[in-house]
Chain A
Amino acid sequence: MAVMQYREALNLAMTEEMERDDRVFLMGEEVAEYNGAYKVSQGMLDRFGDRRIIDTPISENGFAGIGIGAAMVGLRPIVEFMTFSFSYVAFDQLVNNAANMRYMSGGQFSVPIVFRGNSGIAGNLGATHSHRPEALYAHFPGLKVMMPSTPSDAKGMLKAAIRDDDPVIFIEHENLLGDKGEVSEDPDFVVPIGKADVKREGSDVTIITYSRSVITSLKAAEKLEEEGISAEVLDMRTIRPLDLDAILNSVTKTHRAIIVEENWPYCGIGAGVADRIYRAAFDELDAPIQRVTAKDAPLPYNRRLELDMLPSVERVVEAVNQVLYR
């Protein structure tokens, strides 16, 4: 085990996988010469050369398509979007080609590609840079969507994504890139796709969450403990496929649930998760499920307004109190 940053864990995952499998390569804007806009690919050009660490022009639709084509003929590309908001330019490539190719070719082609990059609400970046595209991509059958919350998960999950034979949308949170934590240096350490994780055990209420909201929820759980409430924090880790068993196990234990996400509320991840819980565990619930989301408006540039838009420790605590009828 070594202590490293979230961004270093991502770098380690890619480095290990490129050493393990020479079909793996990385492409994107500024990934090579500049070592990555967010320094995630630091040192990788020197190590693997310009045939495997490839700088692209600002042409998301083009290089996403090149990646898909490369994957279809047997390579295993990692395509970095500088921020995931830019992926919308390549939306057609992702949802029409990558997502559908296996299905529409009757299984003749697979697309083993990872589209990765950071996203989320980071701090004074304004409305167009503060997107949470996971609900959008999780909507499309054929795409897997993963969002790690810790350095250890960042490494293990990215390795699973690279090894997967289908397209994976891998969204890193910009505000987590500098977080430090213990990370396994075992080259075979992999966190399987579709496996949620109980980040904190509890008995009174389940907080279902992912990505940076896990950190918020864990802080809220500490605060709740001072009030005598035992909250379980369940990190979904993979948005699609959903680990419904883990969610139901926890809700069946606590009988109350809240869902915390940075998404907008309407058609957000929590809407889909709540639906699955209501249908599978209606009789286990002692209160309606509450959701803590971003407020339903474009993100303001102003720092104080931005903070007010986001799920906070206070709002998580309040939602827990609501489902506990306190």
Chain B
Amino acid sequence: MPIEVTMAKLSPTMESGQLVKWNVKVGDAVKEGDVLAEIQTDKAVMPMEAFDEGTVALLDVQEGDDVALGQRVLVMASKGEDPAQVAEKLKGGSASKAEAKKEAVPAGAGAGAGAQGASSAPDYGHSTDSNGQHAEAEPREPGGRVRSSPLARKIAASEGIDLGQVEGSGPNGRIVRRDVEEFLQHRGAAPSKGKEAAAAAPAPAMPVARGPVRETQRVPHTRMRKTIAARMLQAKQTAPEIHVTSDIRMDRIVALREQLNAQLSKQKIKLSVGDFVTKAVAMALRKHPDLNASYEEDAMVLHGDVNIGIAVALDGGLIVPVLPNADQLGLVEIRQGTLALAEAARTNTLNPKQMMGGTFTISNLGMYGVKQFDAILNMPEVGILAVGTTEARPVVENGQLVVGQVMTVTLTADHRAVDGATAAEFMRTLKAFLEEPAAMLL
């Protein structure tokens, strides 16, 4: 029996996934656990693993295709089966169907207006053109409207299909459900009309550019970009934010970091300033549970654990993996945990568990030399800390101007849940921990 592999639910909120990259090709032998493809969900790019062994006979979708949950993506021949035969069988069915359909349309058109007139099918006045010739089965009307059934439109909308690329088999080229479903099955098998048109279009005559010009591109949103956009908009539109900024003297942290890193050099561990900040934030949240919280319609959820989300920038997006119980971790554990999460995020190997359950987020742009910025809430969490760079700045100490290591941090808090004074108290605790790190031992 051929083994059909379908799109699986790889994240709790996933409805479809984009096939980013095939890791196998037709003819490859696959063992259980092999990564067949990389799938972009609404959250991250996840590996799709094989649950059976076999030989790849047919790939149903192409890289870049959006695939609905449960839709078949690949077929493997099981042991003893000939992959070529399996593929032939599967392709044969669909190919002959497609051919039959292709033949059917011109045949009907060739029969001409007479056949159409004799039939009692409803005539909407589009079946013949002014020359009396039968109009091509062309779903696009003069006004640019695509003739399609309500059901076809509904399916196309939910699958993100442009109906202009689908050929209609109904009366006057109306696109009906079977056309959309066939298009979905064969999507990517042939270049779409739109792409062909774009390729064939001659370059417009423009003034000669003085240097190399980059062409304007229209890049469709990735699922991650759409998710980010929706969540940022939701935060900005629904949460009244308050921003509280503090300058923190980091001299002791800088010194402590050098000292500890010297000790850890044999273990090849190098703590970052960010690790100290993570530890201090987690400790401060223990003292200020109002900020380790989620805002819900009818109640505040004060979380029992302190799970710090750490914003990680990726190519074309960002993701917030979660370091659980950060307040109970030592600096080395924080360093190792953070490194592991960031590495997994960048290689798209985060599992859903590593992305869930955050109670407070830290966004650190210090490594880019940014002095200060405001972060947008990672809802439903009520707080996020924006961390700037630690740098030498002139500071006034006991009336004297001296050079000190200073870091600027800004807390963004949901003002529905957190009042200004509460936010300020948290910042005072955080400042105290970082300026006097020994206090964290108390």
Contacts and interface: CB of A to CB of B under 8 A. Distances in A.
Contacts of A285: 149-151
B151 A286 contact: yes
- CB-CB nearest 8 A-B residue pairs: A286-B151, A283-B154, A286-B149, A286-B177, A283-B150, A325-B170, A282-B150, A286-B176
A322 B120 CA distance: 9
A223 B342 CA distance: 65
Given A325-B169, A325-B170, A325-B176, A284 B122 contact: no
B121 A322 contact: yes
B153 interface: yes
A288 interface: yes
A288 B122 CA distance: 10
Interface string A259-289: 0000000000000000000000011111110
Nearest to B152: A286
Interface string B136-175: 0000000000000111111000000000000001110010
Contact of B177 (A255, A282, A318, A322): A255
A322 B154 CA distance: 22
19 contacts: A255-B151, A255-B177, A282-B150, A283-B150, A283-B151, A283-B153, A285-B150, A285-B151, A286-B150, A286-B177, A287-B149, A287-B170, A288-B122, A322-B120, A322-B121, A325-B170, A325-B171, A325-B174, A325-B176
Contacts of B171: 325
Contacts of B174: 325
Nearest to B168: A325
Name the interface size band of chain A: 10 to 19
A118 to B, nearest CB: 32
Contact of A284 (B121, B151, B169, B176): B151
Interface in B164-195: 169-171, 174, 176-177
A213 B149 CA distance: 28
Interface residues on B, range: 10 to 19
B363 to A, nearest CB: 42
Nearest to A321: B121
Interface of A: 255, 282-288, 318, 322, 325
Nearest to A278: B150
Nearest to B180: A286
Contacts of B121: 322
A285 B153 CA distance: 10
A320 to B, nearest CB: 13
Contacts of B122: 288, 322
A283 B171 CA distance: 18
Contacts of A286: 149-152, 176-177
A96 B176 CA distance: 47
B385 to A, nearest CB: 46
Interface string B113-129: 00000001110000000
A27 to B, nearest CB: 47
Contacts of B152: 286
Nearest to A315: B120
A287 B176 contact: yes
A255 B180 CA distance: 14
Nearest to B157: A283
A282 B170 CA distance: 17
A318 B120 contact: yes
Given A285-B149, A287-B170, 11 more contacts: A283-B150, A284-B150, A284-B154, A286-B152, A286-B176, A286-B177, A288-B122, A322-B120, A322-B121, A322-B122, A325-B174
Nearest to A322: B121
Q: Find the residue from B121, B122, B149 having the highest chain A CB count within 10 A.
A: B149
B387 to A, nearest CB: 49
B169 to A, nearest CB: 7
| Residue in A286, A288, A318, A325 whose Cβ sees the most chain B Cβ within 10 Å | A286
Contacts of A288: 122
B180 to A, nearest CB: 10
Nearest to A284: B151
Nearest to A282: B150
Interface in B280-302: none
A67 B349 CA distance: 81
A100 B76 CA distance: 70
A285 B150 CA distance: 6
A288 B176 CA distance: 11
Nearest to B175: A286
B419 to A, nearest CB: 47
A271 B122 CA distance: 17
A287 B121 CA distance: 12
A287 B154 CA distance: 13
B410 to A, nearest CB: 47
A72 B257 CA distance: 97
A286 B153 CA distance: 9
B237 to A, nearest CB: 29
Contacts of A255: 151, 177
Contacts of A282: 150
